[in-house]
Amino acid sequence: MTKIFAEKSRNKTFLGMFAVMSATSILFNGCSQEKDKKESEKLIPKSHPVAKIVPKIDDENVPSDKRVIYLTFDDGPNRGTENLLKILHKRNVCATAFLVGKHAYGSKKQKDDLNLLRKDQLVELANHSFSHAHNKYNDFYKNPLAVVQDFDAAKDSLKLFDKIARTPGRNIWRLNNITVTDLKSSTEAANSLKKAGYKVVGWDLEWKPTNKMALKGNHEAMLKRVDSIFFNDLEKTSRHLVFLTHDQYLTDSDSVNELDLFIEKLQKTNRFVFRKISEYPKINEVLN
């Protein structure tokens, strides 16, 4: 049976509809607010793991021809955080910032960026650990108790009210309906986080960097990957895609422009809803 998405067959990519969509299409945006023109004018110019079972969750608040994208950014506050906020305001979309506790106190600029993130209605804050494993991931996950303590320290120091978390250096999921561990050596630590009440969220699609810490490739390639994930049911939850990149990749004008174009072209299809990660299906259930 031919798979249908937005009244197109699998053999025709829905992102190809750019050419036939009206320029006056109205964006169905799950987290829109009035645009701040002053902010938008500040914009700088120019092998993810796959879950074996994809939960089929019908979201009655999302029309059947829509797909939901969760824009998430790790390691902030960091170089590029301010540019990220300018993009979000220019395109009027929401996102989730997974923060590293020690980064919030690394410099005056990082403290100031944290305050910007806290005040911004388009952004929600989530936990990405306090130490970021000191970038020694194998050692970090060998001690499950220390992992939980590290996330607790980030939660307290950043004054985070929810226990939504993402593990540093690992694509791990621990929700009631999704259990994914990319490296088995991290399993015990991941289970300990869930037992401590953390709702651990990984990602479906990552925009990775070059060796110069800029976004690798271009927005057109990323749009094709979004297309492929939805058509092939590679998202962890059907019709819901968690997108990841990092604040620090947004320091050059080319990277800023590519992310901006990526979001703009997703919007122009009028086929996507943008949401914060706290609205991900079943994430607010009490963990078993």
**Length of the chain counted residue by residue:** 288
- Give the pLDDT confidence score for residue 106 in this predicted structure: 87
What is the rounded CA–CA span in Å between residue 275 and residue 188? 30
- pLDDT above 70 for 133: yes
266-284: burial string, b at 16+ Cβ within 10 Å, e else? bbbbbbbbbbbbebbbebe
Task: State the pLDDT confidence band at 288, using cuts at 50, 70 and 90.
Answer: confident
**Number of Cβ atoms within 10 Å of the Cβ of 33:** 12
Say what the pLDDT of residue 23 is: 40
DSSP 8-state class, residue 124: E
Q: Which helix (H) or strand (E) holds 176?
A: none
> pLDDT, tens digit, for every residue of 60-100?
677 888 999 999 999 999 999 999 999 999 999 999 999 99
Rounded distance, CA 76 to CA 23, Å?
34
For the domain made up of 63-279, give the CATH fold. TIM Barrel (3.20.20)
% of the chain exceeding 70 in pLDDT: 80
Q: Is pLDDT of 227 > 70?
A: yes
Q: Which tokens belong to 287?
A: 């963990």
| Structure tokens, 224 | 């094709």
The answer, yes or no, to whether residue 12 has pLDDT greater than 80, is no
Q: Can you give the pTM of this predicted structure?
A: 0.84
Q: What is the pLDDT of residue 250?
A: 98
**Residue range 96-118, pLDDT digits in tens:** 999 999 999 889 999 999 999 99
Answer whether residue 25 shows pLDDT above 60: no
Is the Cβ–Cβ distance between 49 and 171 less than 8 Å?
Answer: yes
Q: What is the pLDDT of residues 169-198, one digit of tens each?
A: 999 999 999 999 999 999 999 999 999 999
